[in-house]
Amino acid sequence: MSNKIWNPERECMRRADLEALQLAELKDLVDYCDRNVPFYHKRLQEAGVTADKIKCLSDIQYIPYTTKQDLRDNYPFGLFSVPKKDLVRIHASSGTTGNPTVVGYTREDLDNWSEQVARIVTAAGATDETVVQICFGYGMFTGALGLHYGLERIGATVVPTSSGNTEKQLKFMRDFETDAVVATPSYCLYLAEAAHELADKFPMEQYKLSLGLLGSEGCTPEMRTQIEERWGNGFFVTDNYGMSELNGPGMSGECRCRNGMHICEDHFLCEIIDAASGQVLDKGATGELVVTNLTKRAIPMLRYRTKDITNINYEPCACGRTTARMHKIIGRSDDMLKIRGVNVFPSQVESALIGIDQISPHYQLVVRREGFADTLEVRVEMIDGSLLEKYGELEALQRRIHHAIKTILGIEIKVSLVEPKTIERFTGKAKRVIDLRNQ
Amino acid sequence: MFIKQISIFIENKAGRLAEITAMLAAEGIDIRALSISDTTDFGILRLIVNDPPKAEKLLRDKGLTFSITNVIAVGLPDRPGGLAEVMQALAGSGISVEYMYAFLTPQQRRRACIIMRVEDTEKTLQVLQQARVETLREEEVYSL
Ligand SMILES: [Zn+2]
């Protein structure tokens, strides 16, 4: 598999040079926003920030944050800097509550976006010889078209199968000798299962798949291993990150070292902040990712709060790239709980519970205040009748869960085994947390 | 010679035991013997009932966590030291009892009955037979 670097000039810069470039781009962007977007003009004026006052990168802290709510409040085009005539594309997110978030692209924006995706797919191992099937749904969602343009940019052979029709997907994979697949982790796993089911007619050797560019939903290390084992034959899964407010996929992606996702830093200036206070944190700290899209013009993003929790490693990587690497998303700031001064994410509990077969996938966190101390109870449903013969086995299960969660969270917890179906099921977004501290 | 025992995982909260026994009663399932082991959080309810297949179906439909295992029912000789003799016979053959519980039979021939869970049920039965200990048959227990 290829170890090529798409744009060595930009991806292997000395940090001092990169920061000088970022500073120049930031000043340009602030000036552009000030002059072309009334929303930003007002915000910047209130904060007393002008482009010429920005002397170093840390001066970015004086610029107010932009949030998803700002996009909703200014639906559809309030944050746009150009007339519709200059837009060549519009995308929108689904928006489960309220207005969808609408984003647009000038020709130059699309060009930059394709460049970003070209870098991350190259880092993942794709080349101009790769035949890649895109199994994301097309439409208003940025995932499919973003990867599509970036993969075309590197000269890969793009097969836009879109989502669904699994048997047809598998047929094309065999007949076109598809090398790479763009999909969600769960769909990639589903495809592998379906391929195994058809193995009597079409043996697994007929698939040449070697690379998964998976994204758009989280992928735990356990799930990644499972997907790789199901496809077999050295199938290699990489993760990438992005969101429509920041073009789409392509902001960052894993290289073959898979030790964090390389950020296209000449396009994206990243900060990590404390989600509660809004304070900028030191380099390396874990907190909410805030991104300034330095090169975006149609709908510029100044200090966009992603609500995703991660940390950034600025050490150069073994692959040769010097761009910083962000950790896979640890959780959402909306879901974050502060318990005895420690940040806790439901997703951490979830990852601790994966692989424990005696319990159902449903769990619930109950936070209480007892005296002056917060307590966290983790409730899980015991579903394995075979443990009922020996009482000690139930207690051992309880201890095992306790240990797994405590190791990840670093705080004392109480594990409760409860009967099946006693944890409420929610359609859509699961309500995992019951916080009783303020009652 | 084995008796079917049902073990049900229950949370230790007020009224839960009443709910489960009422659920069984509503289906016409009679409880012959019962034991509970618990901590502050959860417990295991062990039951001998008159109609194990029916109870199994009910529990499955209700989605409870349970298991069904073979246990031995021993009719205890009605004299001092009766239980001690049984336990000695088992210990002498290297059989350890994981748990046991007792109930009294309601009929004319009133006697103590011990439900026993052991690792090797076959071997235990042989040992008990050699020691001339009475073991109750399935139909006998279910129809008590
Ligand atoms: Zn790398």
| Spans of all domains in chain A | 1-329, 337-435
For residue A427, count CB atoms less than 10 angstroms from its CB and return exposed for 0-12, middle for 13-18, buried for 19 or more.
exposed
* B63 vs A388, A417, A421: nearest CB: A421
Bridge partners (DSSP) of residue B1 are none
pTM: 0.76
Using a CB–CB cutoff of 8 Å, tell me whether A436 touches chain B. no
Q: Which of A271, A411, A423 is nearest to A344 (CA)?
A: A411
Check CB contact under 8 Å for A391 and B66.
no
The long-range contacts involving B82-91, CB below 8 angstroms and separated by at least 24 positions, are B82/B112, B83/B112, B83/B114, B85/B131, B85/B133, B86/B114, B86/B128, B86/B131, B86/B133, B89/B127, B89/B128, B89/B130, B89/B131, B89/B133, B90/B118, B90/B124, B90/B127, B90/B128
In this predicted model, what pLDDT tens digit does every residue of B5-32 receive, in sequence order? 999 999 888 888 899 999 999 999 999 8
Check CB contact under 8 Å for A418 and B11.
yes
Q: What is the mean pLDDT of residues A139-166?
A: 96
Residue A390 has pLDDT above 90, yes or no: no
Residues 358-387 of A with CB under 8 A from B: 382-386
Q: Do the domains B2-69 and B70-142 sit in the same CATH topology, yes or no?
A: yes
Q: Which of A246, A229, A221, A251 is nearest to A238 (CA)?
A: A221
In this predicted model, what pLDDT tens digit does every residue of A311-338 receive, in sequence order? 999 999 999 999 999 999 988 888 888 8
Bridge partners (DSSP) of residue A373 are A370
Minimum distance, in Å, between the CA of residue B31 and any CA atom of chain A? 19
Rounded to the nearest 10°, the torsion over CA A290, A296, A299, A303 is: 20
* CB atoms closer than 10 angstroms to residue B106: 8
In this predicted model, what pLDDT tens digit does every residue of B38-50 receive, in sequence order? 777 888 999 999 9
pLDDT value of position B64: 94
Question: Could you tell me the distance, in angstroms and rounded to a whole number, from the CA of residue A183 to the centre of ligand 1?
Answer: 22
Number of A:B CB contacts under 8 A?
48
CA distance A301 to A268: 10
Residue A95 has pLDDT above 80, yes or no: no
pLDDT value of position B112: 83
**The tokens 């990168």 sit on which residue?**
A57
Check CB contact under 8 Å for A388 and B66.
yes
Interface residues of chain B, partner chain A, Cβ below 8 Å: 7-11, 37, 39, 41-42, 44, 63-67, 69, 98, 117
Q: What is the mean pLDDT of residues B64-80?
A: 88
Bridge partners (DSSP) of residue A288 are A273, A309
Using a CB–CB cutoff of 8 Å, tell me whether A399 touches chain B. no
Q: Give the residue on A whose Cα is nearest the Cα of B10.
A: A419
The answer to whether residues A227 and A188 touch, using CB atoms and an 8 Å cutoff, is yes
Check CB contact under 8 Å for B65 and A383.
yes
Contacts of B65 in chain A (CB under 8 A): 382-385, 388, 419-420
**What percentage of chain A exceeds 70 in pLDDT?**
98
* CB atoms closer than 10 angstroms to residue A431: 12
In this predicted model, what pLDDT tens digit does every residue of A108-146 receive, in sequence order? 999 999 999 999 999 999 999 999 999 999 989 999 999
Contacts of B64 in chain A (CB under 8 A): 419-420
The answer to whether residues A66 and A303 touch, using CB atoms and an 8 Å cutoff, is yes
Confidence bin at A428 (pLDDT 50/70/90): very low
ipTM of the complex: 0.85
**The tokens 């470039």 sit on which residue?**
A21
What does the block give as tokens for A222? 């356990």
Quick one: fold of B70-142?
A: VC0802-like (3.30.2130)
- Could you give the 3-state DSSP secondary structure of residue A243? strand
Confidence bin at B109 (pLDDT 50/70/90): low
Architecture of domain A337-435: 2-Layer Sandwich (3.30)
φ and ψ of A327, to 5 deg: -65, 150
Q: Give the residue on A whose Cα is nearest the Cα of B97.
A: A390
The residues spanned by each domain of chain B are 2-69, 70-142
pLDDT value of position B77: 66
What does the block give as tokens for A308? 């995703």
In this predicted model, what pLDDT tens digit does every residue of A360-377 receive, in sequence order? 888 899 999 988 889 999
* A419 vs B64, B67, B98: nearest CB: B64
Minimum distance, in Å, between the CA of residue A270 and any CA atom of chain B? 46
The DSSP-derived string for A103-166 is EEE-HHHHHHHHHHHHHHHHHHT--TT-EEEE-S--TT-HHHHHHHHHHHHTT-EEE---S--H
Architecture of domain A1-329: 3-Layer(aba) Sandwich (3.40)
Architecture of domain B2-69: 2-Layer Sandwich (3.30)
* CB atoms closer than 10 angstroms to residue B121: 16
pLDDT value of position B85: 87
Count Cα atoms within 13 angstroms, Cβ side, for B26: 8
pLDDT value of position A168: 96
Q: Give the residue on A whose Cα is nearest the Cα of B118.
A: A389
